[in-house]
Amino acid sequence: MSVTVKVPAKVNLQLGVGPLRDDGYHDLVNVFHAVSLFDEVTVTPGPLAVTVAGASVEGVPTGPDNLAAKAVVRLAGHLGRAPEASVHIEKAIPVAGGMAGGSADAAAALLACARLWEADVPLPVLMDLAADLGSDVPFALLGGTAVGLGRGERLTPLSCEGEFHWVFALADGGLSTPAVFAECDRLRAAFEAEAGWPHESPDLLAALASGDAKALGAALTNDLQPAALSLRPSLGRTLAAGREFGALGELVSGSGPTCAFLAADAEHAAELAAALAEAGVARALAAATGPVPGAHVLS
C-alpha cells in the first residue's frame, strides 16, 4: 500500500515584516496564495528514508534533515508509534526559491502518513503539528488564499474571486530565508529605518475579493524585497524586464530569489513567459494559476 499527496507552492502577495522581536522572530502580515506548481509526496510502509527526484533537487537533504522526514517523526511521536514510512518526493517546486517547497513536503508527509497509518487526526491537530514544523507548513495544508499573522502561522482564509494567472522566473541557486531576514534587519539599521507595525493592505484584500487582476498587480508588496535585491542584485533586472513586458505587477516571492509576475489571462502569461525567456533574465520560467487547494491525497 502507498499513499500519494499532491501539494502546491505558495507566493506571498503581501509580506509585511515588523520589527525584530526579542525571540529573534518578526511579526508578519503574510498573505499566502497557493499556485499550481506541485510537489508529490508518496509514502510506503518501511524504515524511515527519503528519496528525492525532479528537475532541480540540488541542496535537498535526503536524511533526517529533510522536512518531510521531520514531519514523519513529529506525527509518529504524536501518535506514540514508530516513524515507519519510506518517503519519495517528486519535486517541481524550486528549492530555496521563496515558494515554501520544503514546507509543502512536510505538510504532504503529515497528511500522507496519517492516511498510511490509518490514524484519525482531526484537521486542527494536524495544523498544530504543522505549525511546530515551520511557519509556512500550515498554509500548505490549507491552500487557497489566506493571511497569516504572528510568525505567519496563525491563518485566516481570505475571500478570493476567480483565478489569477502568474509567471514565475526561477533563478540559479537559492537564497537562505534566515539570511534574507538578517539582511532586512541590517538594511533597516544602516538606514535607521524604523520598521512600522505591518497591517493587511485594504487595497490587496479588495482586489482579491473582487477578482480584479489589475488592482491586485498594483497592490503586491514584499518588505523582504530590498534585502533579497541587496543579496542578489541581478533580480532587479528580472523585475524590470517583467514590468517592461507588461506584467500587471511583479515582486520577489517571499525571501526569493524566485520572481513572480501577474498576467491578465492565460494568453498574456504565455507571452510574458516567452518574452522573459527571450530576455535571458531567468534560469527557467513557469506559468501557474492561483488559488489552488492545499495538500490532498491522490491515491
Please state, in angstroms and rounded to a whole number, the distance separating the CA atoms of residues 102 and 292. 18
Judge whether 136 counts as a catalytic residue. yes
Q: Nearer Cβ to ligand ATP, position 255 or 275?
A: 255
- The C-alpha torsion from 161 through 162 and 167 to 172, rounded to 10°, is 60
Contacts of 108 (CB under 8 A, 6+ apart): 5, 6, 7, 39, 40, 41, 68, 140, 295
Letters for 57-76 (x = contact with ligand ATP by CB under 6 A, - = none) are --xxx---xxxx--------
Please pick, from the candidates 8, 16, 83, 98, the single residue that binds ligand ATP as defined by CB under 6 A: 98
Query: What's the grid cell of residue 21?
Result: 522581536
- 119 marked ligand binding residue: no
> Cβ of residue 219: shortest distance to ligand ATP, in angstroms?
21
Letters for 32-61 (x = contact with ligand ATP by CB under 6 A, - = none) are ---------------------------xxx
Q: Kindly name the residue from 39, 91, 105, 136 that is annotated as catalytic.
A: 136
Judge whether 91 counts as a catalytic residue. no
Contacts of 102 (CB under 8 A, 6+ apart): 60, 66, 67, 95, 134
Letters for 230-259 (x = contact with ligand ATP by CB under 6 A, - = none) are ------------------------xx----
- 96 marked ligand binding residue: yes
> Cβ of residue 128: shortest distance to ligand ATP, in angstroms?
18
User: Which alpha helices (H) appear in the chain, and where do they start and end?
Assistant: 67-79, 101-116, 123-133, 137-142, 177-190, 202-210, 213-219, 225-231, 235-244, 266-279
Does the protein bind ligand ATP through residue 291 (CB under 6 A)? Answer: no
Does the protein bind ligand ATP through residue 95 (CB under 6 A)? Answer: yes
Selection from 99, 71, 103 nearest residue 87 by Cα: 71
37 backbone dihedrals φ, ψ, rounded to 5°: -110, 120
Contacts of ligand ATP in 259-288 (CB under 6 A)? none
SS3 category, 191: coil
List residues forming the annotated binding site for ATP: 94-104
Binding site for ligand ATP (CB under 6 A): 59-61, 65-68, 89, 95-103, 105, 136, 174, 177, 254-255
List residues forming the annotated binding site: 94-104
Catalytic residue annotation: 10, 136
